[in-house]
Amino acid sequence: MLQRHKAQLRHHARLNDGIQLAHWFNSGDRVTNLSNHHTLSLYIADGYDTWHKTPYGWRNGGGPDRFCLMPSGIESTWDLRSDLSFAHLYCTEAHLRQMAEEIWDRSPAQLELHEKVFASDDRITQLYRHFLLSCDWQQPASQLMLSSASTLLLTHLLQHYSDVQWRAPQVRGGLSPAVLRHLTDFIEAHLDQPLTLAQLSQQAALSEFHFARMFRHSVGEAPHQYVMRRRMLRAKEMLADASLSLTTIALSCGFYSSSHFSNRFRQINGMSPSAWRSSQRATSSRQRE
């Protein structure tokens, strides 16, 4: 719908079933939205001159970190009179209901999200800014972080912006030793693939909500943090072999190009893979002397 107007799609990612992400830019446009899916929109930059049509006239209230929640089947009209950069999280009704059933182990008689316009929520801003917008959406190694953050966002919507009034269930204890061993073996065998929270939770036969919390309890870090740490450790082991190219190492560690691998390696280790490889060679030479 947006692409039929003036909106420019800058980035797009399809995550686990029923969830998609899109980063948009638009300006000088009037758009009417009526979708068969839920949309959570966060204003990334600008948006101060964005107006929403209400029964009482046009209302203005946009700006960075404002969010809009547009439930499925509810029509809304927007007048963008200047620049706006925004990110959308799309979710189907079926996926949201399935998530609610998995979290609370019961089916809500009615599940309706509340429409929100130009609202503020520090938790939504944090999850967008620190997770969804902080990584390359096209990079396979980013899929676990994206899917984890998306699950947290949708759980937050269910708890705070829906008719479901149930408290989030308490998760006590971690994964059993056998499940944890199976899971870590599975991760090691698939570090070259774009792992998602749905895949890992299936290995543990748990919902994504319960799995993420039980994994953190057992390991001391979130699944996406653990997997990235394992990717970096494998990369360092492979860098010790001078015959392996950076491209080969990148692909083996779940990155689709050497440049994306190098950028992520530098962010975590403070130096490029090539510099790290050289420093290790120098250290080995001094030790031999």
**For the segment 148-162, what is each residue's pLDDT rounded down to a tens digit?**
999 999 999 999 999
Q: What angle do CA 155, 159, 161 make, to 5 degrees?
A: 105
Are 148 and 210 members of one domain?
Answer: no
Per-residue b or e along 138-162, where b marks 16 or more CB atoms closer than 10 Å to that residue's CB: ebbbbbbbbbbbbbbbbbbbbbebb
* 31 beta partners: 78
| Helix 223-239 with 273-288: angle, nearest 10 deg | 50
Q: Report the pLDDT value the prediction gives residue 164, as an integer from 0 to 100.
A: 81
Q: Tokens for 28, please give them.
A: 């000088």
Domain contains 258: yes
Query: What confidence category does residue 132 fall into, taking pLDDT thresholds of 50, 70 and 90?
Result: very high
Please tell me the least confidently modeled range out of 77-81, 164-168, 205-209. 164-168
Q: Is residue 171 part of a domain?
A: no
Is 151 in the same domain as 216?
Answer: no
pTM of the model: 0.86
89 and 39 in contact (C-beta within 8 Å)? yes
Kindly state whether residues 31 and 144 are assigned to the same domain.
Answer: yes
Q: Please state the length of the chain.
A: 289
Burial class (CB in 10 A: 0-12, 13-18, 19+), 27: middle
pLDDT of residue 287: 66
Q: Which pLDDT does position 285 carry in this prediction? A: 65
Based on the domain organization, do 257 and 142 belong to the same domain? no
Is 88 part of a structural domain of the chain? yes
Q: Which whole number is the average pLDDT over 109-127?
A: 93
Residue 30 lies in a domain: yes
Residue 90 structural domain: 8-161
Residue 81 sits in the same domain as residue 21: yes
Dump pLDDT digits (tens) for 226-239.
Answer: 999 999 999 999 99
Among 132, 161, 190, the domain boundary falls at 161
Given 161, 195, 212, the domain boundary residue is 161
pLDDT of residue 100: 87
Task: Calculate the alpha carbon distances from 99 to 117, 169, 179 in Å.
Answer: 24, 13, 22
Q: Is 170 part of a structural domain of the chain?
A: no
Are residues 187 and 111 both part of a single domain? Answer: no
Mean pLDDT of all residues in 270-284:
87
- Would residue 16 count as lying in a domain? yes
- CB atoms under 10 Å from CB of 174, counted, come to 16
Asked if residue 2 belongs to a domain, the reply is no
pLDDT of residue 167 exceeding 80, the answer is no
Q: Do 122 and 153 lie in a common domain? A: yes
The alpha carbon dihedral of 210, 215, 217, 218 has a sign of: positive
Residues 6+ apart with CB under 8 A from 210: 102, 103, 169, 171, 201
Residue 39 has pLDDT above 90, yes or no: yes
Please indicate, yes or no, whether residues 16 and 84 belong to a single structural domain of this protein: yes
In-domain check, residue 289 = no
Q: Are residues 156 and 184 in the same domain?
A: no
Cα–Cα distance measured from residue 151 to residue 208, given in angstroms and rounded to the nearest whole number: 7
Give the CATH number, domain containing residue 19. 2.60.120.10
Domain end marker among 107, 126, 161 = 161
Q: How many domains does the chain have?
A: 2
CATH number of 268's domain: 1.10.10.60
Find the mean pLDDT for residues 87-116. 87
Asked if 38 and 85 sit in the same domain, the reply is yes
Domain shared by 55 and 114, yes or no: yes
Residue 135 pLDDT:
87
pLDDT band at 17 (very low <50, low <70, confident <90, very high): low
Is the confidence at residue 5, as pLDDT, over 90? no
Q: Are residues 156 and 13 in the same domain?
A: yes
